[in-house]
Structure 1
């Protein structure tokens, strides 16, 4: 029973951290605010996480892991190419829903920070899996055979810079709007030629 309660508390902290970080950013949210919102003591918080950064890492990992599972499901189902593209874009929108500019800036503009380094590694590891999924989809005829999925990794690094660019961010009403536009540009460029109207 204690194990279940422990997992419940850890999940509560991750969910609360997710909600607060997405709304206010990483820097602005304190451990005290997380504890207050979750209804637990600071002592309990520190039983599960060494610090706020460790909690943020788990939040990011969970978001990326859940997105990766859904992405694989989309690529392996029997939906049309158009349906897959729309669902991939919707998945990206859902993943960035309600994310604040502050959080994006805290992660991507704090050069060399532990959280930025973690996110870069998590992103790179995730992209290696995505590349393999794209190769498999190419073999099954879902995507064009004549593009190298590795280019997507290089493009994602450029996207990271774009998302962190304050001047570019100012062109959009939200970070989500900018990310969706970038994903649209990338995604529709890899559809099989006969599917593109």
Structure 2
């Protein structure tokens, strides 16, 4: 994501911090402006409403994640090291996510942002599937699995990640996300 100015960048980063902590519904444009130290006029110069800044936040996070993932996939690291690095990236990417964020952004079909996230996530997964195929060609991923399976599994996993009972098992959403990522990566076997 390209920012038009430092104020624009600070606005989006401030919105991200607030959304991650409080979810989408609870955060107001006024709170975003106050946290970013910008006027409402500046906010509305960049975004017509809170929904559009939420989409920009998601785009910023997704774009950075894709860039980091591609860099990792193209590195000369060993397969186990790449897997550890993927989990570390997941951990860092989910830092400070609140239960409210999980419920608002992933389990709230009446919010336009939920639909947008599903659409963008689908686009990203198609790209990631191709990266996994490259990993298979390069020999560090098993040839006997279908990368498309990961797309379908991730959709079902998100249903788990936003289930109140499942969320209740963990101290915070990041702990649950990391449990899912570790389980998906290593199963129930021990690992470093």
Cα separation, 1, equivalents of 2:126 and 2:4: 33
Is contact 1:85-1:188 (8 Å) kept?
no
Residue in structure 1 matched with residue 125 of structure 2 by the alignment: 127
Please list the CA deviations of residues 57-92 of structure 1 after superposition, one character each: whole Å capped at 9, or x if unmatched: 110111111011111111111111111110000000
Cα separation, 1, equivalents of 2:42 and 2:150: 41
Residue in structure 1 matched with residue 49 of structure 2 by the alignment: 51
Deviation at 1:188, TM superposition (A): 2.7
Listed as ranges, the matches of 1:53-132 within 5 Å are: 53-132=51-130
Residue in structure 1 matched with residue 26 of structure 2 by the alignment: 28
Please list the CA deviations of residues 19-62 of structure 1 after superposition, one character each: whole Å capped at 9, or x if unmatched: 11111111111000111111111111111001011001110111
What's the TM-score once normalised by structure 2's chain length?
0.93
- Aligned: 1:138 with 2:124: no
The alignment's C-alpha RMSD in Å is 1.8
Cα separation, 2, equivalents of 1:10 and 1:119: 21
Deviation at 1:6, TM superposition (A): 4.3
Q: Which runs of 4+ in 1 moved over 2 A?
A: none
Residue in structure 1 matched with residue 163 of structure 2 by the alignment: 165
- Structure 1 portions without partners, runs of 5+: 190-195
Please list the CA deviations of residues 160-185 of structure 1 after superposition, one character each: whole Å capped at 9, or x if unmatched: 11111111100111111111111112
What's the TM-score once normalised by structure 1's chain length?
0.91
Deviation at 1:106, TM superposition (A): 0.7
How many residues align structurally? 188
Residue in structure 2 matched with residue 176 of structure 1 by the alignment: 174
Cα separation, 2, equivalents of 1:119 and 1:22: 14
Cα separation, 1, equivalents of 2:42 and 2:110: 30
Cα separation, 1, equivalents of 2:158 and 2:59: 17
Residue in structure 1 matched with residue 40 of structure 2 by the alignment: 42
- Structure 2 portions without partners, runs of 5+: none
